[in-house]
Amino acid sequence: MNKRTFLAILLALFVPLVAYFLVSDLSGSATRMPPHYFPDSVVQRVKKGKQVSDTVWHRVQEPRLINQLGDTVTFDSLRGKILIMDFFFTRCPTICPAMTLNMKRMAESIHNGKRVGDKTNKQVHFLSVSIDPERDSLERIKAWADRFQINPDQWWVLTGNRDSIYRFVLEEIKLGLIDGEGVDSNFVHSDKFVLLDSARTVRGYYSGLDSTDLKKLSNDLVLLTMEKDPNRKSFLAGKLPIMAFAFLAALFGVIALLFFLKKSR
């Protein structure tokens, strides 16, 4: 075996190992994920002999609502999906139509990547919740959905019990804290889009009328679709260091074999 062949084999074995260490070193810090909001508690535990703190983030408890098809629904039926929601009312003459148009553009901009067939993105669902449910009957929210040609497979327009909706808006989504002290708790009228991850924790608030905020929402949405479920362990979880050690052992084994073969000749 000549020197050139030996170096080629050595390089082929060495490059993947270097790539592994680079990826493992940079993967934790290269991408900044959308933040979590509203911690409920902090749990202390021991991990690998060290005391660590885990924050338990507030998980939104959803109300039972009625969508534009007349179906009684909860967010539990959207388990595993990322949610983007806003709050509107059908008689709104100001910001609501513009927000709905911006949400429609966003809904139409994301798809599952298929070239043909159903392109609906099944990982993301949109929700528009009426803050005036006493006036926004099923007929009115259906008319709103028809006006903007909203696809119910991807986007629900919702009404329901007023007390349940306002408890959800103020105590679960905590929109009053985001919009400031001037918010009217009797009629919460906000321009915010709210991003919830698949674990039902709030991951962001964005102005539905601001192009910069909408771009940030789009970027954060992409990041959340790539975020790993902390409760789901990968097949390779905890095994990469062992694989790296085995790869090193194999590398030195090949080098030793080539050395002895060359010496015997």
pLDDT above 90 coverage of the chain, percent: 51
User: Cα–chain-centroid distance for residue 50?
Assistant: 30
Give the integer Cα–Cα distance in Å for 239 and 221.
Answer: 30
Contact partners, residue 131, CB within 8 Å, separation at least 6:
87, 88, 89, 165, 166, 169, 187, 188, 189
Is 185 or 254 the better-scoring residue by pLDDT? 185
Contact partners, residue 56, CB within 8 Å, separation at least 6:
39, 40, 41, 42, 43
> What is the largest distance, in Å, between two alpha-carbon atoms of the chain?
93
Give the integer Cα–Cα distance in Å for 48 and 52.
Answer: 10
Would you call 173 helix, strand, or coil by DSSP? coil
Torsion of CA 171, 175, 177, 179, to 10 degrees: -160
* 107-162 residue pLDDT tens: 998 875 555 555 667 799 999 999 999 999 999 999 999 999 999 999 999 999 99
Which residue stretches of 183-239 are H helix?
211-226
Q: Decide: 221 and 111 in contact? Cβ < 8 Å.
A: no
User: Cα–chain-centroid distance for residue 85?
Assistant: 13
Give me 248's structure tokens. 């090193």
pLDDT value of position 164? 95
Task: Please report the sign of the dihedral spanned by the C-alpha atoms of residue 220, residue 225, residue 230, residue 235.
Answer: negative
* 201-224 residue pLDDT tens: 999 999 999 999 999 999 999 999
* 31-52 residue pLDDT tens: 688 999 998 888 877 777 787 7
- Rounded to the nearest 5°, which phi and psi values hold at 181? -70, -20
- In the chain the domains, ranked by start, together with CATH numbers, are 56-226 (3.40.30.10)
Rg (CA), the chain: 26
**Eight-state DSSP code of residue 78:** G
Strand (E) or helix (H) holding 100: helix 95-109
Give the integer Cα–Cα distance in Å for 203 and 124.
Answer: 14
- The model's confidence at residue 57, banded by pLDDT at 50, 70 and 90, is very high
* 69-114 residue pLDDT tens: 999 999 888 989 999 999 999 999 999 999 999 999 999 988 755 5
Looking at every residue in the chain, the average pLDDT score rounds to 81
Q: Is the pLDDT of residue 256 over 70?
A: no
Q: Decide: 120 and 151 in contact? Cβ < 8 Å.
A: yes
Give the integer Cα–Cα distance in Å for 193 and 209.
Answer: 9
